[in-house]
């Protein structure tokens, strides 16, 4: 079986990388951007880093700043309306995964028509490339700035669903660690745990390849060695830079190997309870990994080694348990080891969420198949 690997043709990375964006855009003769972001990033002045760069290179723009933390179908529809009104010829997302996912939806539907939900009933369903998309990333977690995934919320039926489409790949991605320095402590923690989840799930995925394995293992190393430091000191430039490379490598891995039950279950928590996606992943990661380790223990031994655990004198079972304990220990250190009940989750919704999790596209590549009852029990273990 052949494999296909997707990633942006150009990525600008490192401190002040955004200062190279204008010249890249000018060379492509793009005239007017629809900037997709949220109101907070506009209010604190961070978006001006982008608009100043565009203005300096003669590129006009309009701003849609209505993105919600769990982006909705309405966010995409509202963005499409402004796109048409402004006559923009390309889209720039500025922010974290919510901005990127909304922008992907806008760009894809603008070129292909219909509704974003139309592209969620399979993978790579669009017929035409999306409107040119540029992603400027301000968090080190989702990797949505470079992946073929977008996660959208249907508020009418309390579901969150992934859209997987090769045309989501942006023409330029920007990971400027200076844009991440002001990221709040808890957001740093939740996005970092999200990135770790991407790497772990991609490494144990049934669609993993040697390329995705290499990216996932290096991502785990970088995240384990830098997340606690950057949570404790957001001004730690070296750790910030390492985390942006870690989350990007994790994105390379899962964009091509896909994910598993952690994400399919977290999507349901986000859809029903409007919870932080990264926090949900952090809560579920060790428990789902415990379930999966019964199928692929050797993979979790590799993960233990990547986490810096000396497994030489350990049995396979001891090494697996050490990896699971290290995941929970990191989550506790950065403040994301919480109980679902403390976040308002109730048992009466568990079966509904479990069924939707099994129907979620991310479940397809989980290494061990679960029953509805087993998914419910994983939720219960973290209640």
Model pLDDT for residues 324-368, shown as the tens digit of each residue: 999 999 999 999 999 999 999 999 999 999 999 999 999 999 999
CA angle 282, 164, 113 (to 5 degrees): 135
pLDDT tier at 156, thresholds 50, 70, 90: confident
> Does 1 have pLDDT greater than 90?
no
Model pLDDT for residues 213-242, shown as the tens digit of each residue: 999 999 999 999 999 999 999 999 999 999
Tokens of 305: 């080694």
Residues 69 and 102: beta-carbon distance below 8 Å:
no
CB 229: neighbour CB atoms within 10 A? 15
Q: What mean pLDDT value characterizes the chain?
A: 96
- Average pLDDT (246-251) is 98
Tell which residue, 342, 355, 332, has the closest CA to residue 382: 342
pLDDT tier at 155, thresholds 50, 70, 90: confident
Model pLDDT for residues 299-315, shown as the tens digit of each residue: 999 999 999 999 999 99
Model pLDDT for residues 107-147, shown as the tens digit of each residue: 999 999 999 999 998 899 999 999 999 999 999 999 999 99
CB 114: neighbour CB atoms within 10 A? 11
- Average pLDDT (195-211) is 98
CA angle 119, 120, 122 (to 5 degrees): 90
């Amino acid at each position: 079986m052949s494999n296909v690997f997707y990633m942006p043709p150009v990525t600008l990375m490192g401190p002040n990388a955004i200062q190279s964006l204008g010249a890249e855009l000018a060379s492509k003769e793009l005239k007017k951007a629809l900037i997709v972001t949220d109101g907070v990033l506009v209010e604190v002045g961070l978006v001006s880093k982008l608009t100043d760069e565009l203005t300096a290179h003669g590129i006009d723009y309009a701003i849609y700043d209505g993105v919600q933390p769990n982006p909705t179908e309405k966010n995409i529809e509202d963005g499409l309306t402004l796109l048409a009104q402004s006559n923009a010829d390309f889209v720039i997302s500025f922010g974290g995964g919510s901005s990127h996912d909304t922008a992907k939806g806008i760009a894809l539907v603008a070129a292909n028509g219909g509704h974003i939900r139309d592209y969620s009933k399979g993978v790579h369903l669009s017929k035409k490339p999306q409107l040119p998309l540029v992603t400027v990333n301000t968090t080190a977690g989702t990797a949505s700035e470079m992946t073929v995934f977008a996660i959208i919320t249907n508020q009418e039926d309390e579901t969150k669903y992934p859209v997987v489409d090769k045309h989501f790949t942006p023409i330029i991605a920007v990971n400027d660690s200076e844009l991440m320095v002001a990221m709040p402590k808890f957001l740093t923690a939740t996005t970092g745990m999200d990135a770790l989840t991407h790497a772990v799930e991609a490494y144990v995925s049934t669609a993993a390849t040697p390329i995705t394995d290499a990216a996932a293992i290096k991502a785990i190393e970088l995240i384990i060695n830098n997340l606690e430091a950057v949570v404790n000191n957001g001004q730690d430039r070296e750790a910030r830079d390492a985390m942006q490379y870690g989350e990007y490598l994790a994105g390379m891995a899962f964009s091509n190997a896909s994910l598993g039950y952690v994400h399919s279950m977290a999507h349901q928590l986000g859809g029903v309870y409007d919870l932080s996606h990264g926090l949900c992943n952090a809560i579920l990661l060790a428990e789902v990994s415990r379930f999966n380790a019964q199928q692929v223990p050797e993979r979790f031994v590799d993960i233990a080694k990547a986490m810096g655990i000396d497994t030489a004198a350990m049995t396979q079972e001891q090494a697996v348990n050490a990896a699971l304990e290290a995941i929970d220990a990191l989550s506790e250190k950065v403040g994301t080891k919480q109980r679902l009940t403390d976040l308002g989750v109730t048992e009466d919704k568990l079966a509904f969420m479990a069924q939707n999790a099994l129907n979620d596209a991310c479940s397809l590549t989980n290494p061990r198949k679960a029953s509805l009852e087993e998914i419910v029990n994983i939720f219960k273990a973290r209640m």
